[in-house]
A and B are shown apart, each in its own frame.
Chain A
Amino acid sequence: MPNFHRKLERSAIGFVLAIVGVSAIGGFVEIAPLFTIHETVEQAPDMRVYTPLEVAGRNIYIREGCYACHSQMIRTLRDEVERYGPFSLAVESQYDHPMLWGSKRTGPDLARVGGKYSDAWQVAHLINPRDVVPQSVMPRYAWLKRNGLKTDDLGLHLAAQRRVGVPYTDDMIANAGADAYGQANPDSPYASGVTARYGEATNVRAFDGSAGRLTEMDALVAYLQVLGRLTDAAQKTAAAQE
């Protein structure tokens, strides 16, 4: 071996090629089959896509770095299932570009937080967590309620997501801005289009507590309220195995 290596050490190009070759194997063997082994991602025909408002909310979640403290991945461990609910399935983040599984739980897991609390609570909590949970160390996000939501380019966001594989229709892309407004303004004429395009299960409410102006708070709360509710697959798996 030392002799072979002595030769290798004398060739810069040879060494470079050796490093690339040796290091490429592991990633290839672990990543490529995730695309070819079909059982990797479960089938869930009821899986729906995020609405434009939820997409905007998700982007705010990313922007604020919520993932630094919150996981969205309930592991296959008894205590996690008993505390947070059925373990997360791969299909649930099928349309998450990128995924937000997280690696640290300074705060609780959020994979099933959708519907767990009221909109009003979410708003109060985001404005100042310590108003509602005195023990909390979560930052305040009061500016979300002050900032208006930018909707004019949401169509471009959906189109970009379609390019990476999320099945948005032309109709969804064309109406993205209006749908975002309608979802947070149930009494407006835009509301009906949201359920028509995204399904009856879609939450259509004044998420931040006041209709009219669309705020970043509307978007983030809409996103939080849909976590774990894009498909019933996980609930079904849990029930079927009971």
Chain B
Amino acid sequence: MGTEHRDPVTGRMTTGHEWNGIEELNTPVPRFVLFFLAVTTLFAIIYWIFMPAWPLFSTYTKGILGFDQREVVTRQVQEAAAARAGWMDKIANKSFAEIAGDEALMRHVRETGPTLFADNCAVCHGVKGTGGPGFPNLTAGAWLWGGDPETIAQTIRAGINSTDGGTRVSQMLAFGRDGILTSDQVNSVAAYVRSLSGQPLNASEQARLPAGKEVFKANCVSCHGENGKGIRDVGAPDLTDPHWIYGGDAQSVYTTIYGGRQGHMPHWQGRLSPADIKLLTLYVGTLGQDGSLGKDGSLGKDASLGKDASLGQDASLAEDASLGKNGTGGGGKP
């Protein structure tokens, strides 16, 4: 136990207590501490008066501002929508051709598209829209259902094999697993399919080509067409181009034919607004084409290509589509 004494350094008295050598000074609480306590408390009280604050059994004090975070955010979202309405409404109401021809509107598309696409579509189609195993490349022009904007918009709205009532439906049968074809036949037709896109084949694959061609004629043309160029009405892909959803190597092609495929693209109506869906359609249109979109008022080269169905050229288009990947265009942010 200690006694009160003066601390030589500070000149303050101690309290007269001592714990194993520790003493305390009896320094009064500094004024500014009390001042800050008063200021912060006053702030709190004022805040309580204006804002919802204190509970009262079955209700609470609402504050004289009548502030409600839900109303505030709803209003902010509405105001933001109103501020965007100038161009958003145009996108919602004009035709694709009109929008594509309007450079000012397309600027908004290129500005808004990347984030919207990256937050909703990129997990499947990639940030640049180039797809990945199981998810189609949207920059290649190798469309399953067609590359004109209305078709794309419909795909985004209702999805493919989705839970939406109006969904597009497509299915590649499981020829091997369901016993429609023998394993030998699957191998043969796989070799034939790979030959369609001009892939180098090994000797045993070469030998299988005639048989494969027969199997193809008997089983595949109904969906993929006479010469394997696909039929867009059923969403069956072109097998002659170098673009693959599931892979064009022997193993992947075999797996596809053996086990079938049914890709699932979710529907976006209900989650995204109609204007957002249109905007995404236009943005997807810009992806493969380094921004050349819209000059001639159409959705760019691809849309016109689709019309004359000259699919051979389509593949070459993909080559310059790779420009997009290199970052020279593709609508990505600079």
Whether both chains belong to one complex is answered with: yes
Residue positions of A touching B, CB distance < 8 A: 29-30, 33, 36-39, 76-78, 81-83, 85, 87, 108, 115-121, 124-125, 131-135, 237-238, 241-242
Question: Which residues of A are found within 8 Å of B206, using beta-carbon distances?
Answer: none
Q: Determine whether B22 belongs to the interface, using a CB cutoff of 8 Å to chain A.
A: no
Q: Is there contact, CB below 8 Å, between A81 and B73?
A: yes
B207-260 interface with A by 8 A CB criterion: none
Q: Which residues of A contact B55 (CB under 8 A)?
A: 29-30, 33, 37
Given A78-B73, A78-B76, A121-B123, A37–B58 Cβ distance below 8 Å?
yes
Q: For the complex, is B172 an interface residue (Cβ under 8 Å from A)?
A: no
| A238 to B, closest residue via Cβ | B74
Asked if B78 CB lies within 8 Å of chain A CBs, one says yes
Q: With A120-B134, A131-B133, A132-B135 in contact, is A82–B77 under 8 Å at CB?
A: yes
Is the CB–CB distance between A76 and B70 below 8 Å? yes
Interface size on B, residues (CB 8 A): 34
Q: A132-B123, A242-B78 are in contact. Are A76 and B69 (CB under 8 A)?
A: yes
Q: Is the CB of A117 within 8 A of B124?
A: yes
Q: How far is the CA of A134 from the CA of B128 in the complex (A)?
A: 12
Give chain A residues whose Cβ lies under 8 Å from the Cβ of B71.
Answer: 241
What chain B residues lie within 8 Å of A77 (beta carbons)?
73
Cβ–Cβ < 8 Å partners of B122 in chain A: 133
B132 at the interface (CB under 8 A from A): yes
Option from B70, B72, B133, B163 in Cβ contact (under 8 Å) with A115:
B163
Q: Tell me, in angstroms, the Cα distance from A119 to B265 when the chains sit together.
A: 10
Closest chain-B Cβ to A83's Cβ sits at a distance in Å of 6
- Complex alpha-carbon distance, A85 and B77, angstroms: 11
Question: How distant is the Cα of A133 from the Cα of B133 in the complex, in angstroms?
Answer: 11
Contacts A36-B57, A38-B58, A135-B127 hold; do A76 and B265 have CB atoms under 8 A apart?
no
Q: Assuming A37-B58, A77-B73, what are 14 further A-B pairs, CB within 8 angstroms?
A: A30-B55, A37-B57, A38-B58, A76-B73, A81-B73, A82-B80, A118-B264, A124-B134, A131-B132, A131-B133, A133-B122, A133-B123, A241-B70, A241-B74
Query: Which secondary structure dominates chain A's binding surface?
Result: helix
Residues of B within 8 A of A121 (CB): 123-124, 135, 264
Q: Which residue of B lies closest to A118 (CB)?
A: B264
Residues of B within 8 A of A (CB): 55-60, 69-74, 76-78, 80, 119-120, 122-124, 126-127, 132-135, 162-163, 263-266, 271
* Bound complex: CA A139 to CA B58 (Å): 45
**Chain A: minimal CB distance from B219 (Å):** 24
Which of B55, B59, B69 is packed against the most chain A CB atoms within 10 Å? B55
In whole angstroms, how far apart are the Cα atoms of A30 and B53 in the complex? 10
> Closest CB-CB distance, A16 to chain B, in whole Å?
19
Partner of A33, one of B60, B78, B123: B60
Q: A115-B163, A120-B134 are in contact. Are A132 and B271 (CB under 8 A)?
A: no
CB of A172, distance to nearest CB on chain B (Å): 24
Distance in angstroms between the alpha carbons of A81 and B120 in the assembled complex: 14
The complex places the Cα of A81 from the Cα of B77 at a distance, in Å, of 8
Q: How near does chain B come to A92, taking the closest CB pair, in angstroms?
A: 14
A117 and B134: CB pair below 8 A? no
Set of chain A residues within 8 Å of B69, measured between Cβ atoms: 76
A85 to B133, CA, bound (A): 29
Q: Is the CB of B266 within 8 A of A115?
A: yes
Q: How far is the CB of A39 from chain B (nearest CB, A)?
A: 8
For B73, the chain A residues whose CB sits under 8 A away are 76-78, 81, 87
Chain B residues positioned under 8 Å from A238 (CB to CB): 74
Q: How far is the CB of B167 from chain A (nearest CB, A)?
A: 12
In the assembled complex, the CB of B161 is this many whole angstroms from the nearest CB of chain A, namely 8
For A205, give the chain B residue with the smallest CB separation. Answer: B163
Chain B residues near A133: list those with CB within 8 A.
122-123
A136 to chain B, nearest CB (A): 9
How far does the alpha carbon of A237 sit from the alpha carbon of B74 in the complex, in Å? 10
A124 proximity list for chain B (CB < 8 A):
134
- Chain B: minimal CB distance from A205 (Å): 9
Given A76-B69, A78-B76: A83 in contact with B58 (beta carbons within 8 A): no
Q: Contact partner of A87 among B56, B57, B70, B135, CB < 8 A?
A: B70
25 contacts between A and B (CB under 8 A): A30-B55, A33-B56, A36-B57, A37-B58, A37-B60, A39-B59, A76-B69, A76-B72, A76-B73, A78-B80, A81-B73, A81-B77, A115-B163, A116-B120, A116-B271, A117-B123, A121-B123, A121-B135, A121-B264, A131-B132, A131-B133, A132-B124, A134-B126, A237-B70, A241-B70
Taking the closest CB of chain B, its distance from the CB of A5, in whole angstroms, is 11
Q: Is the CB of B265 within 8 A of A118?
A: yes
The reply to whether A120 and B264 form a contact with Cβ atoms under 8 Å apart is yes
Kindly report which residue of chain A lies nearest to residue B76, judged by CB atoms: A78
Q: Which residues of A contact B57 (CB under 8 A)?
A: 33, 36-37
Contacts of B78 in A (CB 8 A): 241-242
Min distance, Cβ A242 to any Cβ of chain B, angstroms: 7
Chain B hits for A39, CB < 8 A: 59
Q: How far is the CB of B226 from chain A (nearest CB, A)?
A: 31
Chain B residues near A37: list those with CB within 8 A: 55, 57-60
* Residue pair B60, A117 in contact (C-beta under 8 Å): no
Chain B residues near A29 (CB, 8 Å)?
Answer: 55
Contact A78 B119 (CB under 8 A): no
> Which of A33, A83, A119 sits near B119, CB closer than 8 Å?
A83
